[in-house]
Amino acid sequence: MTTITASERALSEGQLKSRANRRRLLSKLPAIIGTIPMMIVAIGVFVIGIGFTIVLSFTNVKFFLINIDFVGLKQYDILWSTARWVESVKHIWFYGFGHIALCLVGGFLLAVFMDQRIKAEDAFRTIFLYPFALSAVITGLVWQLMLDPIWGLQAYVRSLGFSDFTFAPLADGNTALLGMIVASSWNGVGVTMAILLAGLRGVDEEIWKAARIDGIPTWRTYISIVIPMMRGAVATALVLLVVNVVRTFDIVIAMTGGGPGISTQMPATYVIDSINSRNVGQGMAAATIMLLPIAMLILIQFFFRWRASLKGRTT
């Protein structure tokens, strides 16, 4: 008898537990339903899409998914023996460093300027932020027109009587990338300024007072004290700028179409041109290579998180 009651009790306890579980699940249900679309997108676009990209990069796929053969690393061999791709990789590094440096330095100087309690700060902020409201395509077209030797600045100055004036950076393969860096930085510097200005405003007024009492010059205070204190804002600005660089595509199309010659081609334009010329396998190999630096960043991030969690456990 006793054994039966014990098992009965155990059963009812189990029932109670499962009922509690069910209730907990029910309370989570809206959250689960809410995240399903996001999960589908994340898995569908990122995981499956990246999987397809990598697998197809080892095939000779042309455009439609028919008559596909695996060709090993052939697409990668072709990729790295193609001057256009090798140049594209060099270009994105040069452009990336130039764009990020110009935006950070320019954005910081503008932020310092705005922080001097100037009059009409709102008006200035709107002016500096305004370019960011324009898409990269519009930015590219506007700058392309300004730098065009026949329609732009060169023609204007020549019409003033300086007939030998030459200023056509986009027409010369050696300077075209510089023109593009200036245009894209014009577009991005305002946002960097806004983020860094927020960082500047976050620095305690007392620190400025203390620095002044110690007789530290203003520029030294900015470099040695204020900038280290606003590294959160700098990091945010940097991440946004890096993302901007990796996806560089539309400004190239709008400003130069990759020219003169191949002097402003970027990895992303190589991928798109490969797909459009029905050479998807080659494009996928290039896209896979583009994925590597990003995958590396994620791995580094994982490493730091793992190390932090180890530390957390020991203390």
Partner 1 sequence: MKSFVSVVAVAAAALLASTSVHAADVEVVHWWTSGGEQAAVSVFAQEFDATGDHWVDGAIALGETARATIMQRALGGDPPDAAQFNPGRQYEELIAAGLLLDLTPLAEKEGWDKIIRPDSLKAPCQIDGKWWCVPVNLHLQNWAWASIPAFTKAGLEVPTDWDTYLADLPKLKEAGVIPFAVGGDGGGWQISLLANQLILSQLGAASVEKIWKDKDLDLAGGPEVLKAFTTLKTLGEYADDGSPNRSWADTASLVIKGDAALQVMGDWAQGEFQVAGQKPGVDYACLLGPLSPDPQNVRGGGDIFVFFKQGDPDVERAQLSLASLMLSPAVQAKFNTAKGSAPVRDDVDMSLANDCMKKALTVLAKPGALVPDQNIWRNEAFATAQNAIFSDLIYNKATTPESAQAQFVELLKNAE
What's the min distance (Å) between Cβ of 70 and partner 1?
15
Binder of partner 1 out of 201, 209, 212, 278 (CB under 8 A) = 278
Instruction: State yes or no: residue 62 binds partner 1 (CB under 8 A).
Output: yes
Min CB(286)–partner 1 separation in Å: 12
Asked if residue 69 binds partner 1 (CB under 8 A), the reply is: no
Least separation in angstroms between CB 278 and partner 1: 6
Q: Which two tokens stand for residue 284?
A: 């996928």
The rounded distance, in Å, linking the Cα atoms of 53 and 59 is: 10
- In 3-state terms, what secondary structure has residue 70? strand
Q: Does 273 bind partner 1 (CB under 8 A)?
A: yes
Beta carbon of residue 135, minimum distance to partner 1 (angstroms, whole number): 19
Tokens of 206: 């007392």
Answer yes or no whether residue 80 interacts with partner 1 by CB under 8 A.
no
Q: How far is the CB of 61 from partner 1 (least distance, A)?
A: 10
Burial-class residue 11 by CB neighbours within 10 Å (0-12, 13-18, 19+): exposed
* Partners of residue 70 on adjacent β-strands: 59
Task: Decide: is 135 part of the binding site for partner 1 (CB under 8 A).
Answer: no
Q: Do residues 102 and 184 make contact, with C-beta atoms less than 8 angstroms apart? A: no
Closer to partner 1 by Cβ: residue 78 or 225: 78
Nearer to partner 1, 248 or 256 (CB): 256
Beta strands in the chain (DSSP E): none
3-state helix, strand, coil in the chain (%, to 5): 75, 0, 20
Considering only 46, 63, 80, 303, the residue that binds partner 1 (CB under 8 A) is 63
Closer Cβ to partner 1, 85 or 128, answer by number: 85
DSSP bridge partners of 59: 70
Range list of β-strands (E), 93-208: none
81 vs 116, beta carbon nearer partner 1: 81
Q: Per-residue contact track with partner 1, 162 to 201, x per CB under 8 A?
A: ------x-xxxxx---------------------------
Q: How far, in Å, CA of 315 to CA of 305, rounded?
A: 16
* Alpha-carbon span 108 to 119, nearest angstrom: 19
Among residues 184, 248, 282, 288, the one that binds partner 1 under rule CB under 8 A: 282
> How many residues are given for the chain?
315
Q: Which listed range, 2-10, 55-63, 92-100, 293-301, lies at the site for partner 1 (CB under 8 A)?
A: 55-63
If binding is defined by CB under 8 A, does position 250 make contact with partner 1?
A: no
Transcribe 192-228 into DSSP letters: HHHHHHHHHHTS-HHHHHHHHHTT--HHHIIIIIIHH
Binding flag, residue 57, partner 1 (CB under 8 A)? no
Residue 219 has which token pair?
Answer: 């520029």
**Would you tell me which residues interact with partner 1 (CB under 8 A)?**
60, 62-64, 66-67, 78, 81-84, 87, 148-150, 168, 170-174, 256-263, 265, 273-274, 276-279, 282
